[in-house]
């Protein structure tokens, strides 16, 4: 059973470009979470999704950031018009529909904005 | 200050010694989880303890939870150089939903 997959592992963008980060949850998992980690800091929650629904987006910046988890395919975190402050590691986690308090993390995508 | 604060910020020990890390939080929780992160890598889930539990063991790991003091501790016994990593506690207010992470403890185990 493959773990949570994220791609790309590293992403370099220039200011003003768009960044698309993908997350494939573990097989059978229907809950997806996105977290951001700035250098030397802990993880900060961004958004919690289930298939085709955003459940909690209280940690998402109001502008430029969006997330989706379609019926088919991976979850996508999209950052429009990136700025240098968006440089961080973005982690995705998933949990099963039952016993869902334990979250399994992917390897992360390291975004660098030049 | 934030939910989930680890103490100490950094811990340096010799191989074979025990390492104890503490975590304090502010609100009532449903569960508390400990994760390990090696430098530049993803997070590895270590152990979960629920609010109605007081202690759990997993191999060389022992976790305690004191809900009256809103604190938890992670003990790693007989540490190894491979245990060198950052350790984070994370609290969940419900049985699903977001986790709130602390800043982490950097553990260095010298061979």
Cβ-defined contact of A59 to B98 (cutoff 8 Å): yes
| B90 contacts on A by Cβ (under 8 Å) | 43
Q: Which of B97, B105, B106 to mutate to test the interface with A (most CBs of A within 10 A)?
A: B97
* B90 pLDDT above the threshold of 80: yes
Average pLDDT on B6-23 reads 93
CB B35 within 8 A of CB B46: yes
Q: Quick check: B97 and A104 CB within 8 A? A: no
Q: Are A109 and A9 in contact (CB under 8 A)?
A: yes
- Cα–Cα dist B5/B47, whole Å: 17
Contact (Cβ atoms closer than 8 angstroms) between residue B15 and residue B80: yes
Collapsed DSSP state (helix, strand, coil) of residue A31? strand
Q: Tens digits of per-residue pLDDT, A93-112?
A: 999 887 667 899 999 999 99
Contact criterion met (CB below 8 Å) for A11 and A19: yes
List pLDDT tens digits, range A4-51: 999 999 999 999 999 999 999 999 898 999 999 988 778 999 999 998
Min Cα distance A80 → chain B (Å) is 24
Mean per-residue pLDDT, B48-73: 96
User: What mean pLDDT is reported for chain B?
Assistant: 91
How many Å lie between the alpha carbon of A75 and the closest alpha carbon of chain B? 16
Please report the pLDDT score of residue A41 as a whole number: 78
CB–CB contact B42 A107 (8 Å): yes
What would the DSSP string read from start to end of chain B?
A: --SSEEE-SEEEEETTS-EEEEEE-SS--SEEEEEEE-TTS-EEEEEEEETT--EEEETTEEEEEETTTTEEEEEE-S--GGG-EEEEEEEESSSSS-EEE---EEEEEE-
Which token pair is B73?
Answer: 């501790």
Q: Which residue of B has its CA nearest to A49?
A: B97
* CA atoms within 13 A of residue A84's CA, in its CB half-sphere: 1
> What is the C-alpha radius of gyration for chain A, rounded to an integer number of angstroms?
13
Which chain A residue has its CA at the smallest distance from B38's CA?
A107
User: For B42, which of A33, A45, A105 is closest by C-beta distance?
Assistant: A105
Residue B75 reports pLDDT greater than 70: yes
């Amino acid at each position: 059973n493959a773990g949570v997959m994220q791609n790309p592992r590293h992403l370099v963008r220039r200011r003003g470009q768009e960044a698309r980060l993908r997350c494939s949850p573990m097989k059978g998992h229907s809950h997806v979470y996105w977290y951001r980690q700035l250098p030397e800091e802990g993880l900060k929650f961004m958004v919690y999704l289930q298939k085709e629904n955003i459940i909690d987006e209280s940690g998402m910046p109001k502008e430029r950031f969006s997330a989706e988890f379609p019926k088919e395919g991976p979850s996508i975190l999209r950052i429009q018009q990136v700025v240098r402050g968006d440089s961080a590691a973005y982690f995705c986690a998933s949990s099963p529909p039952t016993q869902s308090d334990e979250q399994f993390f992917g390897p992360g995508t390291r975004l660098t904005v030049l | 200050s934030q939910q989930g604060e680890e103490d100490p910020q950094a811990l340096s020990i010799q191989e074979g010694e025990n390492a104890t890390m503490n975590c304090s939080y502010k609100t009532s929780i449903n569960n508390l989880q400990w994760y390990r992160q090696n430098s530049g890598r993803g997070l590895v889930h270590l152990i979960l303890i629920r609010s109605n539990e007081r202690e759990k063991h997993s191999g060389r790991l022992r976790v305690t939870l004191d809900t009256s003091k809103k604190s938890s501790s992670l003990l790693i016994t007989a540490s190894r150089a491979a245990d060198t990593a950052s350790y984070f506690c994370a609290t969940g207010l419900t049985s699903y939903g977001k986790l709130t992470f602390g800043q982490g403890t950097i553990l260095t185990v010298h061979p």
